[in-house]
Structure 1
């Protein structure tokens, strides 16, 4: 699913489709956030705190690639749930905008939801 979203993003960039760009960037960002390793599970370096017996800051890393960490691997089901959540959020927000008389914003959010829904049907 991620590959299809990225491919559609490239197509939307070329076509200058702002609605699709907003929806796809948001969904891909949500996926990236879900893949991030929680902070509390990251290893802590035991180097002393600067000014207290050493030159390193506790938890600091040095060297090429030292700040890189493995990202979580999401299943297809998890990816689908993330995109479904993005659709739900847009639909709920569109309903609220509609209720407040902001049909223009509601229409845009519904169009974004439709872009993402196309990826759920596949």
Structure 2
């Protein structure tokens, strides 16, 4: 069992013993998603820590999107629950980049692409190709795309 997956299991056990319903239900759903990923495909396999982290990132994104949808639908109580579940999952994610750090990384990539001769909105794909590996899971794709767009167009 990978270290991240075993940490999730240990934290689930602790949450159950502490009768923490929010944390235990969130971790159960996350471990269920990990188990689904492990059995998806033709052969079952054990996920690496990076793959488990990707599942957690995906689950956290689902919570954010659901919270936004509940807010738009006028269901504040459900939105609050989704945000709380997202905060539980955030403990397992790498530290997110600040706006300043993200802007600096994007600015370097934009300068690199412009030096190669690409400019304007058409260069967005080239810039994203450079930025995404540097950023990894430390910033959501939408945030990265918005930063790239603002520096290319603005």
Same-fold status (TM-score > 0.5): yes
Residue 10 of structure 2 is matched in structure 1 by 7
Measure, in 2, the Cα distance between the counterparts of 1:103 and 1:37.
35
Structure (1 or 2) with the larger CA radius of gyration = 1
Q: Equivalent residue of 2:74, what SS? A: coil
CA RMSD of aligned residues (A): 1.5
Shift of 1:73: 2.2
Deviating more after overlay: 71-80 vs 106-115: 71-80
Measure, in 1, the Cα distance between the counterparts of 2:93 and 2:7.
11
Residue 68 of structure 2 is matched in structure 1 by 95
Indicate which of 64, 89, 94 corresponds to 1:121.
94
Q: Larger helix proportion, structure 1 or 2?
A: 2
Runs of 4+ deviating beyond 4 Å: none
TM-score scaled by structure 1? 0.70
Measure, in 2, the Cα distance between the counterparts of 1:72 and 1:17.
31
Measure, in 2, the Cα distance between the counterparts of 1:89 and 1:35.
19
Task: Point out where structure 1 has 5 or more consecutive residues left out of the alignment.
Answer: 43-70
Higher RCO (Cα < 8 Å, 6 or more apart):
1
Q: Is residue 33 of structure 1 aligned with residue 36 of structure 2? A: yes
Measure, in 2, the Cα distance between the counterparts of 1:37 and 1:72.
9
Shift of 1:37: 4.9
